[in-house]
Amino acid sequence: MNHLKKVIYNCKQATLLIEKRQIRKLSFRESIELRVHLAGCSMCQLYNKQSQIIHQMVLQLFHDTEQQASTLLLDENFKKELQERIEEGLNNN
Amino acid sequence: MVTEKQSLDPHNWVKAHADYLYSYTLSRLNDEEQAKDLVQETFLAALEKVDRFEGKSSERTWLTAILKNKIIDVYRKKSSGLANITEKKAEEEQKDFFEEDTGHWTEAHQPLPLGIEDLEPLRAKEFSHILQLCMQKLPAMWMSVFTMKHMDDATTEFICSELRVTQANFWVIIHRAKLSLRACLQKNWI
């Protein structure tokens, strides 16, 4: 079986390409292979859609975490002690 | 144009940058104690390097770069167990998702419609909760990769070299993680 045929009929390869595409640009050859596979495989079409939605949702979760994190402040005691340690270090130099 | 040479003012570090560095860490590690430790380590490490500061970047950028390396160290430690997994083993683990000879979906793992394309806000919240639970089951490596990729826009080459995995292994891990995540959602949502 030649390489192209192998991918066209192979859901494992196709799903790998679907995941790759979310992280980096596919090569020309890869994107053709994926397109051909998807044209004939309804299960991977479904996987493709779901995978992208999940990707977006995970991004959203990370974004929300980032937003929450930006409102959290260090407590003043910790900061005070930290600056003291820095001063100590400065004096030792 | 001559840009002004930046200078450091350690007497003012905590006041000027501690909260920023803390939230920077929290958004990438989500562990308050660890974040505090890293902020402290960053300032102390910076003190040692004060004389090597060249003034080419701002004080905050310079401190953040030191912190970034410390965060990557944590990622690396968390995922070091995974670097030892051989490609072959990871490939083998995918057997349950796909038929070995044809590469078709196995019957048990065929994707089913999840109806998540346009969820009502309340249902979306529910789904996001399940998503979070499912994400916790994923290897730390996946979280590290996702964070580096999408928050810091790192290249695959950079991520692989920092986390010390081969490219081939990297893709196998990413592929496996997403297959598992989707399967977990299917199992717990439908």
Tell me which chain A residues have a C-beta less than 8 angstroms from the C-beta of B42.
none
State how far the alpha carbon of A22 is from the alpha carbons of A82, B87, B142, in Å. Answer: 41, 21, 14
Confidence at residue B30, expressed as pLDDT on a 0 to 100 scale: 78
State the smallest CA–CA distance between residue B26 and chain A in angstroms.
Answer: 6
Tell me if B181 sits within 8 A of B135, measured CB to CB: yes
Residue A65 falls in which region: left (phi positive, over 0), alpha (psi -120 to 50) or beta: alpha
State the smallest CA–CA distance between residue B90 and chain A in angstroms.
Answer: 13
What is the span of the domain harbouring residue A65? 3-92
User: Which of B104, B117, B151 faces A53 most closely, judged by CB atoms?
Assistant: B117
Question: What is the CATH code for B10-78?
Answer: 1.10.1740.10
Confidence at residue B45, expressed as pLDDT on a 0 to 100 scale: 94
Query: Considering the domain B85-189, what is its CATH architecture?
Result: Orthogonal Bundle (1.10)
User: Which of B27, B113, B181 faces A66 most closely, judged by CB atoms?
Assistant: B27
Over residues A42-54, the mean pLDDT reads: 94
User: In terms of Cα–Cα distance, which of A57, A58, A26 is closest to B156?
Assistant: A26
Which tens digits make up the pLDDT trace of B32-56?
999 999 999 999 999 999 888 888 8
Backbone angles phi, psi at B105, to 5 degrees: -60, 135
Q: Into how many domains does chain A fold?
A: 1
ipTM: 0.82
Enter the pTM of the model.
0.81
Residue spans per domain, chain B:
10-78, 85-189
pLDDT at A62 over 60: yes
Low-confidence ranges of chain B (pLDDT < 50): none
